Amino acid sequence: MTRPVTLSEPHFSQHTLNKYASLMAQGNGYLGLRASHEEDYTRQTRGMYLAGLYHRAGKGEINELVNLPDVVGMEIAINGEVFSLSREAWQRELDFASGELRRSVVWRTSNGTGYTIASRRFVSADQLPLIVLEITITPLDADASVLISTGIDATQTNHGRQHLDETQVRVFGQHLMQGIYTTQDGRSDVAISCCCKVSGDVQQCYTAKERRLLQHTSAQLHAGETVTLQKLVWIDWRDDRQAVLDEWGSASLRQLEMCAQQSYDQLLAVSTENWRQWWQKRRITVNGGEVHDQQALDYALYHLRIMTPAHDERSSIAAKGLTGEGYKGHVFWDTEVFLLPFHLFSDPTVARSLLRYRWHNLPGAQEKARAAAKKRRRNLPPLTFAPGCGKKWPRRRRNIIWWPISPGRLFNTGRPRGMKVSLRMKAWRYFWKLQSSGLAAR
Based on the domain organization, do 198 and 313 belong to the same domain? no
pLDDT per residue as tens digits for the range 195-222: 999 988 899 999 999 999 999 999 999 9
Spans in the chain with pLDDT lower than 70: 1, 87, 376-442
Distance, in Å, from the CA atom of 334 to the CA atom of 340, rounded to the nearest integer, reads 9
By C-alpha distance, which of 109, 380, 121, 361 is closest to 229?
Answer: 121
Say if residues 100 and 268 touch (Cβ distance below 8 Å).
Answer: yes
Based on the domain organization, do 317 and 379 belong to the same domain? yes
State residue 378's pLDDT score: 54
Distances (CA, A) of 284 to 7, 271, 336: 17, 21, 21
Query: Can you give the C-alpha Rg of the chain in angstroms?
Result: 23
State residue 409's pLDDT score: 37
Based on the domain organization, do 206 and 338 belong to the same domain? no
Based on the domain organization, do 199 and 309 belong to the same domain? no
Q: What is the distance, to the nearest Å, from the Cα of residue 91 to the centroid of all Cα atoms in its chain?
A: 22
State residue 363's pLDDT score: 84
Distance, in Å, from the CA atom of 178 to the CA atom of 198, rounded to the nearest integer, reads 18
Interacting residues of 226 by C-beta distance below 8 A, sequence separation 6+: 136, 137, 138, 199
Based on the domain organization, do 248 and 299 belong to the same domain? no
Q: For residue 281, is it within any domain?
A: no
State residue 86's pLDDT score: 79
DSSP calls for 57-86: -STT---EEPPPPBSS-EEEEETTEEP--S
Q: Which domain holds residue 172?
A: 6-19+37-48+59-261
Q: What is the CATH number of the domain that holds 339?
A: 1.50.10.10
Instruction: List % helix, strand, coil for the chain (3-state, nearest 5).
Output: 30, 30, 40
CA atoms within 13 A on the CB side of 430: 25
Q: What is the CATH number of the domain that holds 203?
A: 2.70.98.40
State residue 376's pLDDT score: 59
SS3 106: strand
Number of domains the chain contains: 2
For residue 101, the one-letter residue type is: L
Interacting residues of 371 by C-beta distance below 8 A, sequence separation 6+: 391, 392
| Number of DSSP helices (H) and strands (E) in the chain, helices first | 9, 23
Q: For residue 229, is it within any domain?
A: yes
Q: For residue 271, is it within any domain?
A: no
Q: For residue 28, is it within any domain?
A: no
Q: For residue 267, is it within any domain?
A: no
State residue 370's pLDDT score: 80
Distance, in Å, from the CA atom of 74 to the CA atom of 38, rounded to the nearest integer, reads 5
